[in-house]
Amino acid sequence: MNCFTKLLSFALTMTMMTGILFAQNGPKTYPYKVGSTISMVADIVAQVAGDKAEVTNIIGEGVDPHLYKPTRNDVLLLMRSDIIFYSGLMLEGKMADALIKVATRGTPVFAVTELLDEKFLLEPEEFAGHFDPHVWMDVKGWMKGVDVVAKSLGEWDSKNAEVYKANAATYNARLKSLDEYVARVIASVPKKSRVLVTAHDAFNYFGRAYDLEVVGIQGISTASQAGLQDINRIVDLLVKKNIRAVFVESSVSSKNIKALVEGAKSKGHDVVIGGELFSDAMGKAGTYEGTYIGMLDHNATTVARALGGKAPLEGLNGKLTHTE
């Protein structure tokens, strides 16, 4: 167990010990204030809590959570929250101090990945000792996060436990439909073409769940650096496997992906940028792509169409605005 995990586990234990009475009483007023770290977590909480809560997110559109350092205002937001949810698995490593600070003050703090069995989690060789945190890329895995939110809110605000349980069941039914759609459109891509090349290794759960070979230029965390050797290795793969499309990410620089395109071109192989994918952040707030369902719908539809599969231009729910 790494230092961050030990410290946060200790802090959360203190929260449970000191906050029992508070948890039994629940919020003093409605809507209560929920703080969250990343937009995917905020979206779960908003769906489960409904009109009982006002959810505020810290790390928004196009921002890389691996590198994000909380501001003074972020810390104040967390301290003023009645309850806090974060992703976990070291995704928000630079926010450790802030999360520990509010937890030790007695504010309930929960990781939405806490119910995942370690057998489900991926531990890539280059990330030895730590799990890949990009669990939301597998819809079935992220559904566990919905269960965590419903359970945590129900225990904290017990008089509305059944409301949270019902909201979670409704939302998970929608996520089940999303999971089926993603599986269907990715399966329509010819087997030999199911190679997903992206800026960093954020799509390994996506690849495992939906049968795609995933190649990221950078490692699990964007804090790692890609070298010329990495670029050349992937260029050779593009040529060897006749891969026609690669993908940029909304929260990661496109520099390395453009280098792949140029490198392949120098070897007589044309590669296009198949589209922009959402990896560590969702789309613009207030848009369909600014929801978790819209995010995954966009990614699956964009990948399937660019790699030769069949998917409706406007996606699962006919709401996509920029798949091409």
214-265 pLDDT, tens digit per residue, is 998 865 444 445 567 778 888 999 999 999 999 998 867 788 888 888 998 9
Residue 163 has pLDDT above 70, yes or no: yes
Domains present along the chain, CATH in parentheses:
3-181 (3.40.50.1980), 188-306 (3.40.50.1980)
Residue 124 has pLDDT above 80, yes or no: no
Query: Higher model confidence: residue 170 or residue 201?
Result: 170
Q: Which of 69-73, 117-121, 197-201 has the lowest mean pLDDT?
A: 197-201
Percentage of the chain lying above the pLDDT 70 cut: 86
Q: Which of 28-37, 70-79, 249-258, 279-288 has the lowest mean pLDDT?
A: 249-258
Output the pLDDT for position 36.
Answer: 96
Output the pLDDT for position 324.
Answer: 54
What does the mean pLDDT of the chain come to? 87
Helix orientation angle between 161-187 and 139-156, rounded to the nearest 10 degrees: 170
Residue 74 has pLDDT above 50, yes or no: yes
pLDDT band at 168 (very low <50, low <70, confident <90, very high): very high
Output the pLDDT for position 16.
Answer: 39
pLDDT band at 95 (very low <50, low <70, confident <90, very high): confident
Query: CA 9: distance to chain centroid?
Result: 22
**Residue 2 CB neighbours (<10 A):** 11
Most confident of the ranges 66-80, 112-126, 178-192, 310-324: 178-192
Is the whole-model pTM more than 0.85?
yes
Residues 219 and 22: their CA atoms lie apart, in Å, by: 41
pLDDT band at 85 (very low <50, low <70, confident <90, very high): very high
Output the pLDDT for position 309.
Answer: 97
Q: Give every CB contact of residue 145 below 8 A, 6+ residues apart in sequence.
A: 41, 44, 112, 113, 115, 135, 136
Query: Higher model confidence: residue 275 or residue 322?
Result: 275
Q: Which two tokens stand for residue 221?
A: 């965390």
Query: CA 245: distance to chain centroid?
Result: 23
Residues 292 and 299: their CA atoms lie apart, in Å, by: 11
Q: Which two tokens stand for residue 16?
A: 């449970």
Residue-wise pLDDT tens digits, 10-66 = 444 444 344 433 444 689 999 999 999 999 999 999 999 999 999 999 987 777 787
Q: Which two tokens stand for residue 226?
A: 């890609």
The position carrying tokens 């070291």 is: 90
Contact 115, 144 (CB under 8 A): yes
Output the pLDDT for position 69.
Answer: 86
The amino acid present at 253, given as its one-letter code, is S
Longest dimension (CA), the chain: 68
